[in-house]
Amino acid sequence: MSKIQEISTAVETGKSKLVPTLVQEALAEGNKATDILNAMINAMGVVGDKFSAGEIYVPEMLVAARAMQKGVEVLKPLLAGDGSVSLGLCIIGTVAGDLHDIGKNLVAIMIESAGFEVIDLGVDVPADKFIETIKAHPEVKIVACSGLLTTTMPAMQETVRAIRALGLTGFKIMVGGAPITAEFAAEIGADAYTPDAGAAAVKAKELVS
Amino acid sequence: MIIIGEKINGSIPSVGKAIAEKNGDFIRHLAKAQAEAGATYIDVCASVEESIEVDTMRWLINLVQEVTDTPIAVDSPSARACAEALTFCNKPGLVNSVSMEGDKVDVIFPVIADTKWECIALLSDDTGIPRTAEKRLQVFEALMKKAKEYNIDPSRLHIDPLVEMLCTSEDGINTITDVMKTIKAQYPTIHITGGASNISFNLPVRRLVNQSFIVLAMNAGMDSAIVDPLNRDLMGMIFAAEALLGKDEFCMEYIGAYRKGIFGPAK
């Protein structure tokens, strides 16, 4: 098994103590930091797919993400200033009136692990806050809105409407959460709906490619 | 949780029969199945006449060691039989058991003093099983003095506070859990063990009482138990209780044991 494959396996199985060592060893063998990073991103892709397929549980996805973060910490000094490695910025939050954060956090973790930078606005985020953040970061590529209550679906609709009203086109809007469907997403003018965190990461990559 | 697999015991009729008939395959199978189900130790108890006990232990221990590397708990009411039988083991295991009765401690502790062997110690003495928590703790104190004398670290001891049957108990398991908590507070690295089945004697649907006991005892500090690792519900409950007690980060042990098929639907 090559060192890169070892890293992929260690990320997939959540070996956060092992990953930094393997990354160091891979660098010492002459592997490029970006290649190592991409291997870890692909490994997280596998993890996300397994989660979407119901083959693994939430904590297994979390420990995989944590293992990858440990590897990224080793690579960071080598990647600094190399803008080409990031897929771009994603702004994420749970819409106004809704305090649920578990699903939103999972999506944030998976999108970050897919190679995005993430600004997490937290829960109960008013449309104005999304807009303010988008204006402050015009380079944003993905805006992701989460909602877990049927009663906050109107807030999601209002948020998407307000963001669209800015007239900016440099980013895509993704929505998700238990009561949300692809039909609802289309109806309120979002660009994409995904049913879980693994699928969200895949879709986010697709939308910026 | 330290799981001491209890199935190889001559007092169980089918095992007694296998011992009498020298049915090695039966014993090998029990050893392998318990090891695969996650036993930390395989208990070996001959339950035969004294004159053939040591030879029977040797036969049983060799059979177990043919099929698994899981260490052995050498189980006999006779401290001398334990002391002899542990020499048959390929690696350090667990002595089951000593107490402050007679000279048990003075027979076993010198033998295991400078080894990695661990030891179960029952909180009884020549007067029997003490009724109150205070008296049991006095026995415990006397025991720890002996352990210190022989330089046996608390982390090598599994204290069995001796659970008695629930159906005649006046305070449920409160006396026992008080003893467990006090001991664990004094010696954080010590193990607390016990059989899970005495508690339910003479009650219907005993497994419900046994399983509830394990969970409550774990909450009081029990971290070792003499149980049937092939009991899937019990094993699942033990893993779930560990997670609920905050001893299983991200529930990875629970999920891992499920994936290994230790509990849940049989694969």
Contact residues, chain A, for B248 at CB < 8 Å: none
- A132–chain B Cβ distance below 8 A for any pair: no
Q: How confident is the model at residue A129 (pLDDT cuts 50, 70, 90)?
A: very high
pLDDT of residue A86: 85
CATH 3.40.980.10 correct for A86-208: no
pLDDT of residue B266: 82
Low-confidence ranges of chain B (pLDDT < 70): none
Residues in chain B: 267
pLDDT of residue A84: 60
- A57–chain B Cβ distance below 8 A for any pair: yes
- B252–chain A Cβ distance below 8 A for any pair: yes
Amino acid at B150: Y
On the question of pLDDT at A90 being above 60, the answer is yes
**String of DSSP letters for chain B:** -EEEEEEEETTSHHHHHHHHTT-HHHHHHHHHHHHHTT-SEEEEE--S-HHHHHHHHHHHHHHHHHH--S-EEEE-S-HHHHHHHGGG-SS--EEEEEEESTTHHHHHHHHHTTSS-EEEEEEEETTBS-SSHHHHHHHHHHHHHHHHHTT--GGGEEEE-----GGG-SSTTHHHHHHHHHHHHH-TT-EE--BSSGGGTT-SSHHHHHHHHHHHHHHTT--EEEE-TT-HHHHHHHHHHHHHTT-SGGGHHHHHHHHTTSSSS--
Indicate left, alpha or beta for B172 from its phi (over 0: left) and psi (-120 to 50: alpha). left
CB-based contact A63 B255, cutoff 8 Å: no
Q: CB–CB of A96/A159 below 8 Å?
A: yes
Strand partners, A125: A95
What ipTM was reported for this prediction?
A: 0.72
What integer is the mean pLDDT of A112-127? 94
Determine the Cα–Cα distance for residues B61 and B43; give it in Å rounded to an integer: 9
What integer is the mean pLDDT of A183-194? 96
Q: What is the CATH number of domain A3-84?
A: 1.10.1240.10
Contact residues, chain B, for A51 at CB < 8 Å: none
- Residue indicated by tokens 């006991």: B213
The answer to whether the pTM exceeds 0.90 is no
Sign for the CA dihedral angle at B176, B177, B180, B183 comes to negative
pLDDT of residue A82: 60
Contact residues, chain B, for A63 at CB < 8 Å: 250, 252
- A16–chain B Cβ distance below 8 A for any pair: no
Domain assignments of chain A as residue spans, ordered by start? 3-84, 86-208
Sign for the CA dihedral angle at A72, A77, A78, A83 comes to positive
On the question of pLDDT at A146 being above 60, the answer is yes
A/B interface, count of CB pairs below 8 Å: 13
- What rounded mean pLDDT belongs to chain A? 92
Give A181's contacts (C-beta < 8 A, 6+ positions apart). Answer: A193
On the question of pLDDT at A83 being above 60, the answer is no
Indicate left, alpha or beta for B264 from its phi (over 0: left) and psi (-120 to 50: alpha). left
What integer is the mean pLDDT of A193-206? 93
Q: CB–CB of B89/B74 below 8 Å?
A: yes
Distance set, CA B60 to CA B8, B49, B75 (Å): 8, 15, 11
Which of A47, A51, A57, A102 to mutate to probe the B interface, most B CBs <10 Å?
Answer: A57
